[in-house]
């Protein structure tokens, strides 16, 4: 029994040391400046949003319905995050952890046709202009 636990622990430790496991950022801001996607063609389904004080670029985007990996890059000085919600009923469909200056985070969303709102939920950033829209066809 102890031998099996030891082997399992070694396998897990090796997987995490080699980059396996969860690649998302934690709320305390530790992160990786690069991220990977499990999609077979990551560039075609990866959308990058750059955030700074107090903007999201691109602020508007038109996409086809489907599953996307959203990468948020914080090029500002202050922590930021990114949330995505249906404009019709406000249901949040995805969001990142808080991203510290110079860092990035990724998350996956499945978007159906419709309108979506993007925003930074840190402090009063949204009211300062950190919001945008997605149109999904």
Cis bond before residue 2 (omega within 30° of 0): no
Long-range contacts of 52-57, Cβ-Cβ distance < 8 Å, separation of 24 or more: 52/76, 52/80, 53/77, 53/78, 53/128, 54/120, 54/125, 54/128, 54/129, 54/130, 55/129, 55/130, 56/82, 56/118, 56/119, 56/120, 56/130, 56/131, 56/132
| pLDDT, tens digit, 9 for 90 and up, residues 37-50 | 333 344 569 999 99
Q: What is the mean pLDDT of residues 122-134?
A: 97
How many other CB atoms are there within 10 angstroms of residue 63's CB atom? 15
| pLDDT, tens digit, 9 for 90 and up, residues 77-116 | 999 999 999 999 999 999 999 999 999 999 999 999 999 9
Q: Give the chain's mean pLDDT.
A: 78
- H or E stretch at 84: strand 83-86
**Cβ atoms 115, 46 nearer than 8 A:** no
| pLDDT, tens digit, 9 for 90 and up, residues 106-120 | 999 999 999 999 999
Query: What per-residue confidence (pLDDT) applies to 44?
Result: 67
Query: What per-residue confidence (pLDDT) applies to 16?
Result: 32
Give the CATH fold of the 24-136 domain: Immunoglobulin-like (2.60.40)
Q: What is the DSSP letter of 10?
A: H
């Amino acid at each position: 029994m102890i031998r099996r636990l030891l082997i399992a622990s070694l396998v897990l430790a090796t997987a995490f040391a080699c980059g396996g496991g969860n690649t998302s950022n934690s709320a305390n801001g530790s992160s990786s400046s690069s991220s990977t996607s499990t999609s077979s063609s990551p560039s075609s389904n990866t959308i990058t949003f750059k955030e700074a004080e107090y903007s999201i670029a691109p602020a508007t985007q038109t996409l086809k319905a489907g599953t996307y990996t959203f990468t948020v890059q914080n090029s500002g000085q202050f922590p930021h995050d990114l949330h995505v919600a249906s404009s019709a009923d406000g249901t949040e469909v995805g969001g990142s952890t808080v991203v510290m200056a110079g860092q990035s985070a990724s998350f996956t969303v499945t978007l159906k046709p419709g309108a979506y709102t993007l925003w930074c939920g840190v402090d009063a950033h949204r009211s300062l202009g950190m919001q945008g829209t997605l149109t999904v066809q």
